[in-house]
Structure formats: structure tokens, C-alpha cells
Structure 1
């Protein structure tokens, strides 16, 4: 039975990394679910208050890195708040509208559309902002992957 539980925990960890490519999967929630499955099936005694405080800080960092990397990427390339929102909307809607490549094209097109429609920038300026959005997305994905890895390492260190 222990093997099945560990397979489930590992599967949740793997799915959390899949969530980096498909934002519809709630990566942080999947990791926390794995922690709870461990606690319910084995013991919560090792998962102390300090463990949960550290993991909560990691979760806050996950959300902040996502938002900040996108906004920095957009701002650095001359974009506005509207482009940041357009990029975020494109990130969420992109995979549904354009399967497979929507995760990349969505934020780009969202930022470009926002700059064209809201701020009436030229097409080349809007594309530049879209590229900034893509770079922000890439930086955010790398940062989130590292933070998720740290969450899992902290968990494993705590229980072993």
C-alpha cells in the first residue's frame, strides 16, 4: 500500500511541473495535495508548523514570480499595465483558443492586442512589447520550476 501512496505523491509532483506548461493545472495546489496525502496516509508529525510556514512562503513566491516576471518583461520592453493584463488573459485563454501553441502565442498576442487597442501604439512597438511578454513568461516558468523543486526538496528533507 505504501508504494501506491508514494506513486500518487510522485505523480502529483510530476503533474505540478506539467502545470508549468499548462497553467490550467494548479501546480502549487498539486504539491500541497501531495503533502496532505503524505500526512493523512503516513503522519503529519514531521510536517511541523515551521514546515508549513516555509512552504507557504514558497507558494507566495510562486505567485509573485509569475506576476512580477510578466510585468517586468512587459515594462522593460515599453509596455503598459494594459499589456500586462492582455498578456495574462492571453496566458489563460491561449491554450484553449489555440491548442498546443496557445501557451506561447496567447501572452504574446494578448500583450500586442492590448498595446494596439488601448494605447494605439504602432505595430512594431506592440510586437516589441509582446516579445517582452514572452521573455517574462519564460523567466517566470524557470523561476516557478525552481521554486517548485525547492518545495519538493524541502518536503523530502523534512520527512527523511
Structure 2
């Protein structure tokens, strides 16, 4: 049963890591679920309650990073809250209309649109859009690092 549990967990981890770059996939949640399935199938022989609480906090940090990174990028490049709101709306619309490419283009166009609606000049709006993209890219790297840490912690807990 342990081999099946590990195979299922690893499959959830792989799909979860894909969620680092594809926001339609709840990456951290899938990684956490993979650990939970492993725990259920092995009767929690090696994974404690504290482990799952810590992993849940790490998963929450992944989602906080998503929002904070884009907002930081906008603010760092002089954007207003209109750019932040525009980037959030642009992300959702971009994914619906452009699929995976919408992850980059949606927030960029949304931030620019938000700034233009706030009557900012085009060059300022463009800088806010670039800040959003840079923030999202930086956030993606941080999310990936947190998720990889979650997975390493899992293997450490199981095999130590």
C-alpha cells in the first residue's frame, strides 16, 4: 500500500508543481492533498499533525505570494491600486480568452488599462504593466521554491 500511496503522492506533486506557472491549477493545494492521500493510505505512520499544519501554512504562503508579488511589482514601478485591480481582473479575463498565454498578457494589459482609467499617461501605465509582469515572474519563482520545499519536507518526514 505504501508504494501506491507514494505513486499517488508524486503524481499530485507533479501536477501541483505545474500549478506554479498555470494559475488555473491549484498547485499548493494539490501538493498538500498528495501528502494527505499518502497519509490516509499509510495510516499516518510517518506524518504528524504538526507536519500537516506546517504544510497547510506553507500552502497558504504560496497563495499570499501570488497576490503580494503582483502588487509589489506594480507599486515598485509606480502603479496605483487601479493597476493592481486591473492586473487581477486582467489575469482572470486573460486566462479565459488566451489560455496559458493569458497568465502574462492578462495582468499586463489589465494593469495598463487600470492606469489609463485612472488617467495616468501611457508611459506610466506601461511601466505599471511591466512591474506587474516582473512581480508575477518573481512570485512564480518564490511559489516554486516554497512548493519544492514542501515536497522535500514530505520526503524527509517519510524517509527519516
TM-score range, shorter chain: over 0.9
Which deviates the most, 126-135 or 20-29?
A: 20-29
Q: What is the CA-CA distance between 1:41 and the residue it aligns to? A: 1.1
Query: TM-score, normalised to structure 2's length?
Result: 0.92
Show the counterpart of 1:6. 6
Q: Does residue 35 of structure 2 align to residue 35 of structure 1?
A: yes
Q: What is the CA-CA distance between 1:37 and the residue it aligns to? A: 1.0
2:32·2:59 contact (CA, 8 Å) conserved in 1? no
Show the counterpart of 1:121. 120
Show the counterpart of 1:152. 151
Q: What is the CA-CA distance between 1:11 and the residue it aligns to? A: 1.4
Q: What residue ranges of structure 2 are gaps of 5+ in the alignment?
A: none
Q: Does residue 98 of structure 2 align to residue 106 of structure 1?
A: no
Which deviates the most, 51-60 or 31-40?
A: 51-60
Count of matched residue pairs: 159
Q: What residue ranges of structure 1 are gaps of 5+ in the alignment?
A: none
Q: What is the CA-CA distance between 1:86 and the residue it aligns to? A: 1.3
Query: TM-score, normalised to structure 1's length?
Result: 0.92
Which deviates the most, 73-82 or 49-58?
A: 49-58
2:5·2:42 contact (CA, 8 Å) conserved in 1? no
Q: RMSD value over aligned CA atoms?
A: 1.5
Q: What is the CA-CA distance between 1:17 and the residue it aligns to? A: 1.3
| 3-state SS, counterpart of residue 66 of structure 1 | helix
2:20·2:27 contact (CA, 8 Å) conserved in 1? yes
Measured against aligned partners, the alpha-carbon deviations of 1:78-134 in whole angstroms (never above 9, x if no partner) come to 1111211211222232122113421110110110111111x1111111011000000
Measured against aligned partners, the alpha-carbon deviations of 1:14-41 in whole angstroms (never above 9, x if no partner) come to 1111112211111121011101110111
d(CA) in 2 for partners of 1:53, 1:10: 20
Show the counterpart of 2:65. 65
d(CA) in 2 for partners of 1:40, 1:28: 18
1:77·1:129 contact (CA, 8 Å) conserved in 2? yes
